[in-house]
Amino acid sequence: MRADPRALRFSAIITTVVLALVLVTGSVWPSAAPVLLAAQALVFALGVAHRSPYGMLYKAFVKSAPKETEDARPPRFAQGVGLVFAVAGLVGYLAGITPLALVATAAALLAAFLNAAFGFCLGCETYLLIRRLLPAAKLEVPE
Amino acid sequence: MVLATLALGSVIGVVRLRRDGRVRDTAQADDRLVMADLGTDLGERATLVQFSTAFCQPCRATRRVLADVSELVPGVAHVEIDAESRLDLVRRLDIMRTPTVLVLDSSGNIVKRASGQPRKADVLAALAGAVSHVSSQNPDDM
């Protein structure tokens, strides 16, 4: 499976904006933050299932073919890491554990920003670290 | 909170841009890889060992760079290791990210190391160092 790197970058930018909004609304309009974060968690989950709404939005507007494509597995794995952080943040907001809500959301924002601004995939790099700690956590990844 | 996160991200990003793929010297008595570790023969003059995973976007480009170099320079082998099937080596060599590239001299000593995608010119320069590393050794050690 191949992915359009421009669509991935576009998705990272929208994700960065949404997660920044979650943190901003959290301080001015507290009830909106978990709703927005839940929406982003859903987007991450759809991304894991190869149905990224941001990617589809990009494809709806940009018809040209990319100059080169890249392996879809690393960004898909990173969407899964994003989902874990978004769910942790959501639990924090809903259970009133503010430090958990803020730290988990900020961590997801950091990873999305590094991807959007520099093209670095922080989520991808956690894979080897997870495997080092949990050798049994091998994921089967058909090409 | 947002500004602090974005500021931290910018610092990490800039440091990464500067450091990524830079070929560093390793400590003299770092470690030595032998045929049994690699599962294949060492290159006659030097070996480029690449650690990769399935969830690694720059690994493919790195593979291309190293394959190019090993074709260009006679006696240099390119060995790619799937990091997750060799967690023993990953721990022993303290590999934290992929791609990590090790440059071995002809007897398997690790002389250079890069984490992130290295540039072709840097790999060529590192190889020149690896080859001279051998010739500058005391003949009694050989």
pLDDT score of A35 more than 50: yes
Give CA–CA dist B47/B39, Å, rounded: 13
Residue contact B54–A135, C-beta within 8 A: no
Q: In this complex, do B57 and A70 lie within 8 Å of one another by their Cβ atoms?
A: yes
Here the ipTM equals: 0.85
CA distance to partner chain A, nearest, from residue B58 (Å)? 10
In A, minimum Cα distance to B51 occurs at A128
The confidence score (pLDDT) of residue B26 equals: 83
Instruction: Specify if A23 maps to a domain.
Output: yes
| Residue contact B55–A78, C-beta within 8 A | yes
Query: What's domain B21-134's architecture?
Result: 3-Layer(aba) Sandwich (3.40)
pTM metric for this prediction: 0.87
| Full domain range(s) for residue A13 | 2-133
Residue A143 in domain: no
Element (H, E) at A82: helix A73-94
Spatial separation of the C-alpha atoms in residues A80 and A44, rounded to whole Å = 7
- The list of chain B residues with pLDDT below 70 reads 27-30, 133-142
The helix, strand and coil proportions of chain B, stated in percent and rounded to the nearest 5, come to 45, 20, 35
Task: Give residue-wise pLDDT tens across range B61-100.
Answer: 999 999 999 999 999 999 999 999 999 999 999 999 999 9
- Do the chains contact at B54 and A70, CB–CB below 8 Å? no
Per-residue pLDDT reduced to its tens digit, A42-52: 999 999 999 99
